[in-house]
Amino acid sequence: MPSAETDRRIADARAAFGAGRLGDAERLAGSVLAEDAETLDAIEIMALARRSGGDEQGAEMWLRRAIAVAPERRWPYDDLAELLFEAGRLSEAETVCRAALTADRDNANAAMMLGNLLSEREELVEGAALLRHAIAVAGEHPQLLANLGRNLHRQGALDAAEPLLRKAVAAMPDTLPPIAWLAELLEQTRRYDEATAMLDRAERLAKAQGSDVTLQRATLLSRTVDWRAGLALLDAERDLSGAALLQRGRLRDRASRFDEAWVDFTAGKAALAARSGRHYDRAGVARLVAEQRALFSDASLEPASLRGDVPQPIFMLGFPRSGTTLTEQVLASHSRIRAGGELPFVAELGALVERGISSATELRDHYLARAAAFGLIDRDAAFFTDKMPLNELYLPLLRLVFPAAPLVVVKRHPLDVMVSAMSHDFTHGFDCGYRLEDAATHFAAMDPLTAEWLTRYNVHTVRYESFVAAQQAETDALMAHIGLAAEPAQLAFHESRRFAPTPSYAQVQEPLNDRSIGRWQNYAEQLAPARAILAEAIARGGYVA
């Protein structure tokens, strides 16, 4: 039991800390710890004083001691995770949050922080589950509602996200992020007048804080007949972010200012790569491709049987920006097909194989369990889509795990793919999309591998140009491969209420058009380096350049 003298010194130490006398606070707490090294109150004061004094290493040491002394208490985990997060040590912050939740499942702060960490690195379903748990434990705190709303928004679940964001905006009318997020959602659901009004609110707050919403305003205007006003906004800016440069480039392309557009594309990609530290590891990718060839050079696994109690995946293959989002939107407009989007499960299967899992049945059940966690096992559906770009790297494995699953590969002129890749931000393909030469190199590496493996399997090819030219016939052929009759809604895919959470969301909300076909010709000179790298792939696909 603490003595009255110990209690007095702890109280004096807290008073000293509150008055900013950090040295006195440490001296008093240290005198208590000299007598009992496990006095939690004194350890807390030492951690607080060290952190307030800028000694993060010392604060971390004392917080870790607090966890060792009292692993059932919440605050040491919470404070340590926050310290690590603010220091940019995200993986360590995640480890602390997970330990906190192991010790106390109802630690709402740990659930919130871990949910936010996972959401930021695009593990959105797991992040949403943690944010929901935090709300269940702590109640509908506006910031929790905003964070969950943003997570669901990024998943494409706009109907679920909107009421959460509206509640957050009502509760925090002077907080910029949820207002800006709600404005973006309204734009994406084509409610442009409401989006403009909400963005006006966001702009007033942004200006008061010394920031702006210029990029978001230009993006909204780009969806309307006033798109030139959006271009004028960005033309007037001197210091644009990477994302803003890409948006300006797309608008300059629309205005037929092609040379300026390409300058924006390359500068925007360079800025995004520099900010994120992303780069394409050519040698590493080449090794991975060789490993996959060797791993599946023979049928080392017995194929899994069909599980008829659940919907089956439709695996959609193709390079980023080749038309996979369009094809998925057509499929998901069918009443018996659910959109899965870019699911991470196939790469997980590859990792399991590398760790020694030798049962295709076990791999199948892992994939389907993950699909269930993502809410894709819908008893009213026959199929769900998996359109993670470049899943073809694992195609032999997919065929062993799901021998009867439909396979659909989307093809498009490689140079049109390059232009689209350079004008949008994406991280697929091992970060190949930040330099033209890297994107072309990755395309050239994957194309012969895909061609080789596709000869072994029953795969339906959707050629983007053919689909645009003969939508009805191509849709019928696609659905014949799936094994379902085509439905009229698939021809009006652009009217679907479903939101595709990819850079192509705006394009798939428009009626089918041929504006993107042959677009590469506007950039023939700039594409010269890629043309040489892609010569074989262009010829293999039956294209000319």
In terms of Cα–Cα distance, which of 386, 429, 379 is closest to 406?
386
Alpha helices in 236-281 (DSSP H): 242-254, 258-276
Bridge partners, 383 (sequence order): 312, 337
Q: Could you tell me the CA-to-CA distances from 330 to 157, 335, 487, 493, 512 in Å, in that order?
A: 18, 11, 10, 5, 11
> Which two three-digit tokens encode residue 431?
């970060």
- Secondary structure (3-state) at 311: coil
Bridge partners, 395 (sequence order): none
Helix (H) or strand (E) holding 356: none
Q: Could you tell me the CA-to-CA distances from 148 to 19, 100, 178, 216 in Å, in that order?
A: 38, 21, 11, 21
Report the alpha-carbon angle 88-92-93, nearest 5. Answer: 70
Amino acid at site 77:
Y
Output the pLDDT for position 391: 87
d(CA 127, CA 139): 17
Residues sharing a CB contact under 8 Å with residue 296, sequence separation 6 or more, in sequence order: 396, 397
Residues sharing a CB contact under 8 Å with residue 360, sequence separation 6 or more, in sequence order: 301, 302, 303, 304, 400, 401
Q: Could you tell me the CA-to-CA distances from 371 to 339, 341, 455, 498, 506 in Å, in that order?
A: 11, 11, 28, 19, 26
Output the pLDDT for position 300: 61
d(CA 218, CA 251): 9
DSSP string for 445-463:
HHHHHHHHHHTTS-EEEEE
In the block, residue with structure tokens 């698939």: 490
Contact (CB, 8 A) for 280 and 432: yes
Q: What is the DSSP letter of 338?
A: E
Q: What is the DSSP letter of 502?
A: S
Which of 271-289 are b and which e, b meaning 16 or more Cβ less than 10 Å from the residue's Cβ? bbbeeeeeebeeeebeeeb
Burial bucket for residue 237 (CB in 10 Å: 0-12, 13-18, 19+)? middle
* Whole-structure pTM value: 0.87
Predicted confidence pLDDT, tens digits, the chain (545 residues): 468 889 999 999 999 999 999 999 999 999 999 999 999 999 999 999 999 999 999 999 999 999 999 999 999 999 999 999 999 999 999 999 999 999 999 999 999 999 999 999 889 999 999 999 999 999 999 999 999 999 999 998 999 999 999 999 999 999 999 999 999 999 999 999 999 999 999 999 999 999 999 999 999 999 999 999 999 999 999 899 999 999 999 999 999 999 999 999 999 999 999 999 999 999 988 888 887 777 665 556 789 999 989 999 999 999 999 999 999 999 999 999 999 988 989 989 988 988 888 799 999 999 999 999 998 998 889 999 999 887 888 888 899 999 999 999 999 999 999 999 999 998 888 999 999 999 999 999 999 888 887 888 889 999 999 999 999 999 999 999 999 999 999 999 888 777 666 665 656 577 878 888 999 999 999 999 999 999 999 999 999 98
d(CA 207, CA 353): 52
Q: Torsion angle, CA of 110/373/189/160, rounded to 10 degrees?
A: -60
> Which two three-digit tokens encode residue 303?
């194929």
Output the pLDDT for position 198: 97
> Which two three-digit tokens encode residue 461?
């090819």
Output the pLDDT for position 497: 73
d(CA 138, CA 204): 31
Contact (CB, 8 A) for 234 and 240: yes
- Count CA atoms within 13 Å of residue 236 on its CB side: 9
d(CA 62, CA 70): 12
Number of H helices, E strands in the chain: 28, 5
Instruction: Domains for the chain: give ranges and CATH numbers.
Output: 284-503 (3.40.50.300)
> Which two three-digit tokens encode residue 362?
């076990």
- Count CB neighbours of 354 within 10 A: 10
Output the pLDDT for position 389: 83
Output the pLDDT for position 298: 53
d(CA 519, CA 511): 18
In terms of Cα–Cα distance, which of 475, 495, 498 is closest to 485?
475
Q: What is the DSSP letter of 302?
A: P
d(CA 353, CA 338): 28
d(CA 217, CA 226): 11
In terms of Cα–Cα distance, which of 42, 261, 189 is closest to 198?
189
